[in-house]
Amino acid sequence: MMRIDIITVLPELIESPLNHSIVRRAKDKGLADIYIINLRDFATDKYKSVDDYPFGGGAGMVMKIEPIFRAIEKLKSERDYDEIIYTSPDGTLFNQKTANELSLKENIIILAGHYKGIDQRIRDKLITREISTGDFVLSGGELPAAMITDAIVRLIPGVISDEQSALYDSFQDNLLAPPVYTRPADFMEWKVPDILLSGNTPEIEKWRHEKSLERTRKLRPDLLDEQ
């Protein structure tokens, strides 16, 4: 079973996305345990503060080293972790290849960044991987943490009823997914391609692959450059 511990200063922001749909199914099936850790539980002052002004001055606040250290050390005292991930705008861009890799891990910590970031010493000493979900800045790393968790968990065998479905997701093999259709086959004379109604599985798979290449060349040619 996979276990993911998410450390955050805003648990309520991340609870809803992780309690519905496929992630909820993974938990209900006993295929994944996901725990949300409130960083303020590891603060020691009466205000439960987890941030302070940056040394050297400047705008914004910085997440303090002590609460993060205590939270991570407590978790590490209970089990070994394969990865301690920090969500950060300057991390490595998250992609399907990374999701596939992480889905093979057993225990993962995700530290959701906030404010102007975390004390650099945590990044230097404890973080094993820094991940960004895009070249933009959010109010915090909670939503990226939820996105990463969803992308990982759905790949665990048994989570998706039709396990073959994940093989045709966009970005598997660096290709976008082919177009999909369902009933009715003719709607206002907008017709489904005949090949999909033929029952010829090898030809259908060939068509799907060709369409994946076509869409990728048109919309994301950079993915083909990575092959």
pLDDT of residue 38: 98
At 165 the pLDDT is 55
Q: 170-225 domain in CATH 1.10.1270.20?
A: yes
CA angle at 137 for the pair 11 and 118, rounded to the nearest 5°:
60
pLDDT of residue 119: 96
Strand partners, 6: 36, 110
Superfamily grouping for domain 2-153:
SPOUT methyltransferase, trefoil knot domain (3.40.1280.10)
Q: Give the per-residue pLDDT at 137.
A: 87
Q: Tell me: the pLDDT tens digits for 162-200?
A: 555 555 555 667 889 899 999 999 999 999 999 999 999
The Cα 94–Cα 32 span in angstroms is: 21
Residue labelled with tokens 């045709």: 168
pLDDT at residue 163, as a whole number: 54
Taking the model in full, what pTM does it have? 0.88
> 156-182: string of b/e by CB count within 10 Å (b at 16+)?
beebbeeeeebebbbbbebbbebeeee
What is the C-alpha separation between 191 and 210, in angstroms, rounded? 19
- What per-residue confidence (pLDDT) applies to 160? 87
List alpha helices for the chain, DSSP H.
11-15, 21-28, 65-78, 96-102, 120-125, 142-153, 201-219, 221-225
- Give the model's pLDDT for residue 100: 94
| Cα–Cα dist 203/217, whole Å | 21
- For the chain, the maximum distance between any two Cα atoms, rounded to a whole number of angstroms, is 69
State how far the alpha carbon of 39 is from the alpha carbons of 9, 36, 68, in Å.
Answer: 5, 9, 7
Domain boundaries, the chain: 2-153, 170-225
Note the pLDDT of residue 133: 96
Q: What is the token pair recorded at 129? A: 């991987």
Cα–Cα distance, 220 to 14 (Å, whole number)? 30
- The torsion angle over the Cα atoms of residues 11, 14, 15 and 20, rounded to 10 degrees, is -170
Provide the pLDDT for residue 124: 97
Q: Phi and psi dihedrals of 83, rounded to 5?
A: -145, 145
Which candidate, 143, 148, 147, 142, places its Cα nearest to that of 129? Answer: 148
Low-confidence ranges of the chain (pLDDT < 50): none
Contact by Cβ (8 Å): 124, 111 = no
Per-residue confidence (pLDDT) for residue 170, from 0 to 100: 54
Strands 129-132 and 83-93: parallel
- Phi, psi of 35, rounded to the nearest 5 degrees: -120, 135
